[in-house]
Structure 1
């Protein structure tokens, strides 16, 4: 009985010791990076649960190529040459221990806002669709649309009106413009994305075509056909008298030839009879 009690107490103590050993490891990290031109990320592991066999770095959960090291040192660092929206994200330093120890560092940059198409064409009375995408970390939390005047002044476009509808997600915003008017809606539109780090924007030029624009190719073809028929008609009308004269001349020539031949034959017969 005493042995069972002692064994149970010993098992509890061993389990507690192992838990302490596993949770006792700590990693001191460099502070997060905000809109820096370059940065050096660092992690310092203390009280590892087992000998360190190496380390590597990951970005947004994906292992960074050529970042793995077999160095058994408790210090790891990763250099970022340009901490822009391309390099922004959540970085993780992973130490190869049993179990693995890791910590994260956030690299933040102003969002990059880009319109996939900087020019859009639409017909009058139809609907135009303008869109912009956001890249980087963190993604925009607020999206806004503006219409720019010829003087460069911007007027805010509000969602949910009879004219405009805006649909946005963290990485994309889309503006729908209904019942296009060639005089009021044509122009330059600006999309703007804002995150906790900064703001960025891009522009789209909207061209509105007249309702008759779709008929111009057809009308052009009709005009070409009419012109061609007119030319053929005039040409045939001018050419007809000349052809009649040519036909008369060609018809009279054989008659003269036959008359001459008959006259010669008559003269020959008369000479022979004499």
Structure 2
């Protein structure tokens, strides 16, 4: 009889512990988010029975409500067995270790931990147009914002490493190495013209951005034709001027001959005879 009572008592105590124990499970322990976007931290609470519990959110062991830069953007909401902390317009300073702490009275019963990483918003940029002379070197640099993984798309093929005709190189910007940030074709030909697209992808969030450059290839002697055209224009202009001057000189000569009278032309000594008579 004593053993039966003891067994019932132990079972009852064990049942009470199961019913009133608190379990907190983070909905997503690792959270990656970009700047100026919203993120939610959710903890699921179970086995609370009829006990009243309260939740407290902390960041790096400090209450969220006491953090000046965060408290006005962090809104906690509660529902049945679920507690959510919503943070709007995230910034880089929001990165850190968050905790969802469950209390029964003043006693901490359980907690769930989260790691939040806020990264800079992604952006990539290449020149909109590039003109290159045939057989010269094509070089396109992709400027980035954030920390994306870069690859390139060219003639319906993707390049994450160098290929037979395409070379990918790294470059350094403000002390940071941008991997695969430069697209190169050593000796470009007319067949190489087209669109080159730089694509950046955030592996953590899955977001991707891209920008496209249109490549135009000029003939090797393309710059010579305008020069030859100018020379031809100068030659034609000089020829016109020379012909015009010759015609003008000929016309002036004919007019000067016409202005003299026939008597003057036929009597070249007329002026001399007049002088002789005047002397007499």
Match of 1:121 in 2: 131
Residue 252 to residue 194, structure 1, CA distance change in 2 (3 Å): same
The structural deviation recorded for 1:133 is 2.0
Q: Identify unmatched segments of 5+ residues in structure 1.
A: 1-29, 49-53, 58-66, 68-75, 94-103, 149-153
CA RMSD of aligned residues (A): 4.2
- Alpha-carbon contact 1:145-1:192 (below 8 Å) kept: yes
CA distance in 1, matches of 2:119, 2:164: 38
Judging by fraction of residues, say which structure has more strand.
2
> Distance between the aligned counterparts of 1:33 and 1:163, measured in 2?
37
* 2:95–2:118 contact (8 Å) kept in structure 1: no
Residue 212 of structure 1 deviates from its aligned partner by 1.4
How many residue pairs match? The answer is 194
Alpha-carbon deviation of 1:228? 1.0
Query: Cα 1:92–1:159, aligned 2, differ >3 Å: closer, same or farther?
Result: closer
Post-superposition CA distance 1:142-200 (Å, at most 9, x none): 3211114xxxxx22346444522101344771101111111x11001111122222222
In 2, the alpha carbon distance for the partners of 1:147 and 1:47 equals 50
Which segment is superposed worse, 161-170 or 252-261? 252-261
Residue in 1 that maps onto 2:169: 167
C-alpha separation in 2, matches of 1:47 and 1:189: 49
Other-structure match for 1:98: none
For 1:34-89, what per-residue CA distance to the aligned partner results, in whole angstroms no more than 9, with x for missing partners? 358435897457689xxxxx8554xxxxxxxxx8xxxxxxxx45467545xxx5x3
* Structure 2 SS opposite 1:217: helix
- Taking the TM superposition and a 5 Å limit, the aligned residue runs for 1:143-222 are 143-148=150-155, 154-157=156-159, 159-168=161-170, 169-170=177-178, 173-182=181-190, 184-196=191-203, 197-198=205-206, 199-222=208-231
CA deviation after TM superposition for structure 1 residue 208, in Å: 0.6
- Matched position secondary structure for 1:212: coil
Asked if the contact 1:34/1:107 (under 8 Å) is kept, the reply is yes
Tell me the residue number matched to 2:16: none
> What corresponds to 1:111 in structure 2?
122
Check whether the contact 2:128–2:212 (CA below 8 A) recurs between aligned residues. Answer: yes
Aligned pair in 2 of structure 1 residues 109, 126: CA closer, same or farther (>3 Å)?
same
Q: Corresponding residue for 2:38?
A: 38
Helix, strand or coil at the partner of 2:226 = helix
Q: 2 CA distance for matches of 1:32 and 1:158?
A: 27
Q: 1:234 to 1:173 in 2, by over 3 A?
A: same
TM-score by length of 2: 0.54
Query: Structure 2: where are the runs of 5+ without partners?
Result: 1-28, 42-56, 75-86, 97-114, 171-176
Distance in 1 (alpha carbons) for counterparts of 2:59 and 2:159: 50
How far the C-alpha of 1:265 sits from its partner, in A, is: 9.8
Question: Which secondary structure does the structure 1 equivalent of 2:223 belong to?
Answer: helix
